Amino acid sequence: MTDRALSVVRSGALTTVQDEGRPGHAHLGVPRSGALDPPAAALANRLVGNPAEAAVLETTLDGCALRPRSAVVVAVTGAPCPVTVDGRPAAWGAPVHVPAGALLDIGSARAGLRSYVAFSGGVAVEPVLGSRSTDLLSGLGPAPLTDGTVLPLGRPGVLHARVDVVPHVAPPSELVLRVTPGPRDDWFTASALRTLTTRAYRVSSASNRIGLRTDGPSLERSVSGELPSEGLVLGAVQVPPDGRPVVFLADHPTTGGYPVIAVVRRVDLPAAAQAVPGTPVRFTLVRRR
């Protein structure tokens, strides 16, 4: 095997390979997947001189530890966390040179949930339907990392890092999600949309890459029964039988039979990737333009 590779020493709670995802395959039942916090992943790539589509690692909560077989430039963004190389502190949010055989340790998130680790050349696992992303719902792409996994790395390109260092951006103390009503808001009582946009919710510990689940007041339906299965989009706010809204994220199913009361603006979704359980959630109403 080429020396452009790295070994996983500690895989962490959930570490996956992610890129810009595989949009455009919903008609095949394939979710878009991709990094939950796209701006953080793109920034990590810029820091090491990669193109935006290069694959990175997305860690959850407690990071991971890796040993590259050849020297590589690494950058960590997203949730702030300690970074060490052979036990010596290294920079978060800046390019870091990691010698061949050194132990790169990405520690637990100090705030937020997900950190992004980019390597010069990118993670070069085989693409599936045009993407290297791990999809937890469909099982496409590489499996989540386990101890001992060996990941190939691409050859560094001619791009140079376009950023030297980034400011620390704290995860949200309150997650504000702007929603547009519909397409099935007519399946709910007149007070349900008012409840959604005026009452307090919190991020549930049952949240994952498929959806951000919420704890809070139930939304009352005016139409009983279930819908025929219909298409779902990124950011759809689906309401299951318990009445508590679920915001669909990157690995969401492409169809579903529970009504969607509203859809979250896409630009608000990256913050959802960093919202820890218990974070207050406020849905605010915006009308179609």
- Encode pLDDT of 65-118 as tens digits: 999 999 999 999 999 999 999 999 999 999 999 999 999 999 999 999 999 999
Q: Are residues 143 and 186 in the same domain?
A: no
Q: Are residues 122 and 237 in the same domain?
A: no
- Give the pLDDT confidence score for residue 183 in this predicted structure: 94
Query: Between residues 243 and 26, which one has the greater pLDDT?
Result: 243
The least confident of 16-30, 71-85, 208-222, 239-253 is 16-30
Q: What's the one-letter identity of residue 198?
A: T
Q: Are residues 115 and 60 in the same domain?
A: yes
Token pair listed for 197 = 């946009």
Residues of the domain holding 280: 175-285
Q: Are residues 39 and 105 in the same domain?
A: yes
Q: Quick check: is 166 in a domain?
A: no
- Give the pLDDT confidence score for residue 227 in this predicted structure: 86
Mean pLDDT confidence for 126-140? 95
The residues with which 59 forms a beta bridge, in sequence order, are 115
Q: Are residues 130 and 198 in the same domain?
A: no
Q: Are residues 275 and 186 in the same domain?
A: yes
Mean pLDDT confidence for 236-244? 96
Work out the pLDDT band at 1, boundaries 50, 70, 90: very low
Give the DSSP per-residue string, 45-96.
HHHHT--TT--EEEEESS-EEEEESS-EEEEEEES---EEETTEEE-SSS-E
**Helical spans, DSSP H, in the chain:** 38-48, 190-198, 269-272
Residue 264 has pLDDT above 70, yes or no: yes
Mean pLDDT confidence for 263-282? 95
- Give the pLDDT confidence score for residue 226 in this predicted structure: 81
Residue 119 backbone phi and psi in degrees, to 5: -125, 140
Q: Are residues 212 and 83 in the same domain?
A: no
Q: Quick check: is 167 in a domain?
A: no
Work out the pLDDT band at 225, boundaries 50, 70, 90: confident
Q: Are residues 126 and 24 in the same domain?
A: yes
Q: Quick check: is 163 in a domain?
A: no
Q: Are residues 30 and 123 in the same domain?
A: yes
CATH of the domain at 223: 2.40.100.10
**Considering its fold, how many domains does the chain have in total?**
2
Q: Is the pTM of this model over 0.75?
A: yes
Work out the pLDDT band at 289, boundaries 50, 70, 90: low
d(CA 67, CA 150): 9
Helix (H), strand (E) counts: the chain: 3, 20
Measure Cα distances from 234 to 161, 175, 269 in Å. 31, 17, 9
Work out the pLDDT band at 156, boundaries 50, 70, 90: confident
Q: Are residues 112 and 209 in the same domain?
A: no
User: What digits encode the pLDDT tens for the residues 160-215?
Assistant: 666 656 666 667 789 999 999 989 999 999 899 999 999 999 999 999 999 999 99
- Give the pLDDT confidence score for residue 157 in this predicted structure: 76
Q: Quick check: is 49 in a domain?
A: yes
Mean pLDDT confidence for 18-37? 92
d(CA 179, CA 15): 30
Q: Are residues 142 and 14 in the same domain?
A: yes
